Structure formats: structure tokens, C-alpha cells
Structure 1
């Protein structure tokens, strides 16, 4: 596979690399190839903050252990930045700024000349202000450099026998809020508890979008009918209200990645705060 060989060559030329490792399939694939190529000269580092579900952190630990790569955790403080918690359209810029301002000094102090992330080729064609923050701090994105798409990332992960090749995408919990609504630790925990409740029902690819006192459940369109028929809806509503929501809604369009970005018209983006 040509792109795998290209990725291996990239890491061979790096000689040592620190991986910004979230536990998602993109950064997990990067960690796998980095470890297979560099062995103990590769280090995976996971940023821990209120926007990361505890179970996602545990998944990252388990996956790193199975790959064999050295794994460490650092705490990031994006919630202390009002530019982040105000949730502007370029919120991710401030998140990735905090991440790489934490990882870069760590990499330098440990003798790693490169910080590497899991950005893929498709990400470059979406609105991802965090990519600029990473580039400004010298991070590299091998998957994007060789042009791997999201589908190809999963194909390559399956080819390499990664058990998590079909793991659903799980962006940070801050992505559950409409732009302009302030993000707090309490709101993040509320969303996290709601999504955890749904996963215990056997659902995997889902989102709980939070807006004010309302929760909006997004499921794959083909699962909506069965969900309504077999779920204890009064029990679900009672649980969500216990978490802190007042209203519980079901999105009839269904889950669609990046749905909150549909409000980002050119006019809105033109008014984005400084930092993009």
C-alpha cells in the first residue's frame, strides 16, 4: 500500500515523534504507524480536560497499550480561556492553541523534534480553525500530507488489524453546543452523562446537542423509528431531566457530522473573532 509506505518514510525521516493522541481512529492510526516505524522513539500524549469523556480517555489508554506505544497524559486549560468558553465560531483555534502550546514544550524537553497530529486529507476541506493553530506551532499532519481521506484512514486501520477501525467519530464535547452559547464544565458534564446513558442502551453513533435547557438527540436516520418504538421514552426524559435538562427532543433529520456548521455562512465567517 503506497500511502502506508509514504507514512512510514515520513516517520523514518523524523526519527523521533510525539503524537497528539486523542484515541480517535485518526490519531490511533498515526500512533500505530509511528510505533511500528520508530518503536520507543515514538510517544503518544493525550490531553485531558472537561471536554474529554472519561470513557474516551480509558479507550485511549487501552488502545495505546495494545499498540505498544508509550503513552502519557497532560492536563490542558482551555476552559480558563474566555476566548474558548465564549464558544465563537473559531473556538477550535483556541483549543488547539492550548493543546500545542502544551505539547510543543514537552516535546522539546524530551528531545522530540516533531509534534504530529491526526488531521486527515478531508479535514483540510472543512472549516477547521484548529488546523491553523497547529500549523502555527509547527505541528505536522502525516495523514493529510499523503492525502488519506476519512474512508481511507479506516481502510488502512483495518488493513493493519486495528480492532477500532470502525470506531465512531467522537469529537470533543464542546462541539455539542451552538456557536455563541457559553461553555461551562457543568454543561459539558451534563452532555456527557446524557450520551453515556444512550450508549448504555446499545447506541453507538449519536450526539446529544445542548442548547439552553434543551437536549436534542441525533441518531442515524435509519435507527430513529426503532428507537422510538422500543425505548422507554418517559424513562429517558426523566433521566435527562435528572442530568439537568428540561426539554428533550429527537432530531428527525438524524445525525449528520458537522451539522452545527451549517450556520457558518460566508457573512458569519467574515465576522469571526481574531485568531483565524
Structure 2
């Protein structure tokens, strides 16, 4: 599988990897560095939707693995279509990302590469179409790799991200139709940081009612622990600025907000 991926990457003159620090983009950044050397650049898009802990982790990963890395600011929070938070929000976010990365790719004489894998193609991700329309490539898809394959290759290369849980952008926590604002995203980040400090390393703080209600998701195995510490969790979430705190008894699943669009959630 690694040979297939590296053969695909070797067809490119240069690559700018959209690097969030998650398992997918981390492997893509390392593989591109292995194949292209200084002709590969990992770029992290910084905006209110990127948790600071993920920003720091991405920079640290790049340093540890010798991957050339820079950050760039993106302006999706200033785009009315993104703020409106319709079902196509991800497309507007991806457009902002591509707008920021395109000049860098042009200077490098290469293409923009995204960490999309085969499993992503079945989820509700309108950003994929926006990226493809802008000429971005998806080497994992071209190499026929699933999420499990990405994790297996990462483990083979001893990457610390091999088992890293999914960490979607903070805007994915906001119910469709509720405006996405930097202030709300900051509250979500503060609440999730507090939950991490309490030991719930896999969690989501989903918001409803224009940010009044925080709906907490933890893995089903952690539900008893969360219930036992409900007073601490509620206090932490309210300190972050939410009026109500609820524990979702169905537990954590990626893409739970997509249920509002009639799409299935994706369990870990």
C-alpha cells in the first residue's frame, strides 16, 4: 500500500499538502516528504475553526518528522455563505482553503494535495466537490486507500498519528442553520478543552439553539463516567458560556450533525 501511495506521489513535480495534523494529512505530508523532499510543503490553514491544541500538535509533528511546514490564514469566517451554515458550509470552507493555498502551489510549480481517502467518499462532504473543481488531488483515493489503510501505513512508519481519533473542525459542532461565529467557536473550543482536562479525550460539544445548548458526546464506553461527573462537566460547559448542558445518551459518532440533513452519522 505504501508503494502504491509513493508511486502516485512520484508522478507530481511538487505538492502543497493541506495539513491539519490529523491521521490522514499527517501521513500524506510524511509520504510526500519521503518522495519529493524539499518539493513537498505542508501547509496548515489557521482560522477560528482550528482548535489551538490541533495547531500546536500539527507544528510539533512537522518538526519531529522534518517536514517543511508553514501556516496560512484563511478567511472563511468572513464569507457570508459560510457563516450562514447551510448544508454546503464545507464547500465554502474548502473554497477558502484552496484560495489560500493556490498562490503557494503556483509559486512551487505544483498541485494541492488533500488527505481524502476512499471512506470519505461515502460521507456528506460537499467540500470534496469544491476541491476537485479547483484542481486539488486526492492521492489516497488514487492509490485505493481506505481510512484503515491510512492507519496501517502510519503504524508501519511509526507515526504517532496512526491511532489518533478524528478531529473535525470546530464548525462541524454547530447545528446547520445556526450562524457560525468566531465567538461561538471559541466557546466550543473552551468547553472541549475543559472536557479533555477532565479526562474525556474523545468528545464533541455540539451546539443548538444559536449556541444556547451544548450537547456533549463521548464514546458509549465513557457514558457512565460522564454521568458520574455530570456536575463537573456541566459547570465547565457553563463556564465556557453555554446556558444548558446535555449528555447525548447515544454516544459519540462522527458527522452527527449530518443527521439533520437526512444523512447517516459515521460511527468510529
Q: Using the TM superposition, give the Cα deviation of residue 152 of structure 1 relative to its aligned residue in structure 2, in angstroms.
A: 1.5
Q: CA contact under 8 A between 2:203 and 2:252: conserved in structure 1?
A: yes
Question: Which residue is 1:200 aligned to?
Answer: 197
Q: Using the TM superposition, give the Cα deviation of residue 227 of structure 1 relative to its aligned residue in structure 2, in angstroms.
A: 2.3
Post-superposition CA distance 1:92-144 (Å, at most 9, x none): 000000100110122102x2321101011111111110001111110000011
Question: Which residue is 1:274 aligned to?
Answer: none
Question: Which residue is 1:166 aligned to?
Answer: 163
Count of residue pairs brought into register by the alignment? 261
Deviates more, 1:70-79 or 1:195-204: 195-204
Q: Using the TM superposition, give the Cα deviation of residue 38 of structure 1 relative to its aligned residue in structure 2, in angstroms.
A: 1.2
Cα distance in 1, alignment partners of residues 244 and 218 from structure 2: 17
Equivalent of 1:237 in 228, 234, 239: 234
Q: CA contact under 8 A between 2:226 and 2:233: conserved in structure 1?
A: no
TM-score norm. by structure 2 comes to 0.95
1:23 is paired with a residue whose SS is coil
Equivalent of 1:11 in 9, 12, 15: 9
Q: CA contact under 8 A between 2:118 and 2:146: conserved in structure 1?
A: yes
Cα distance in 1, alignment partners of residues 214 and 137 from structure 2: 37
Question: Which residue is 1:32 aligned to?
Answer: 30
Q: CA contact under 8 A between 1:18 and 1:112: conserved in structure 2?
A: no
- Could you tell me which runs of 5 or more consecutive residues in structure 1 were left unpaired when the two chains were aligned: 267-276
2:10 is paired with a residue whose SS is helix
Question: Which residue is 1:271 aligned to?
Answer: none
Deviates more, 1:59-68 or 1:234-243: 234-243
Q: Using the TM superposition, give the Cα deviation of residue 239 of structure 1 relative to its aligned residue in structure 2, in angstroms.
A: 2.4
TM-score norm. by structure 1 comes to 0.92
- Could you tell me which runs of 5 or more consecutive residues in structure 2 were left unpaired when the two chains were aligned: 264-268
Q: Using the TM superposition, give the Cα deviation of residue 158 of structure 1 relative to its aligned residue in structure 2, in angstroms.
A: 0.6
1:19 is paired with a residue whose SS is strand
Cα distance in 2, alignment partners of residues 189 and 171 from structure 1: 15
* Structure 1 consecutive aligned stretches of length 4 or more whose deviation exceeds 4 Å: none
Q: CA contact under 8 A between 2:14 and 2:40: conserved in structure 1?
A: yes
Q: Matches of residues 13-162 of structure 1 in structure 2 within 5 Å?
A: 13-109=11-107, 111-162=108-159
Q: CA contact under 8 A between 1:168 and 1:204: conserved in structure 2?
A: no
Cα distance in 1, alignment partners of residues 237 and 217 from structure 2: 14
Q: CA contact under 8 A between 1:48 and 1:74: conserved in structure 2?
A: yes
Q: Using the TM superposition, give the Cα deviation of residue 6 of structure 1 relative to its aligned residue in structure 2, in angstroms.
A: 1.4
Cα distance in 2, alignment partners of residues 129 and 172 from structure 1: 14
2:42 is paired with a residue whose SS is strand
Cα distance in 2, alignment partners of residues 53 and 112 from structure 1: 30
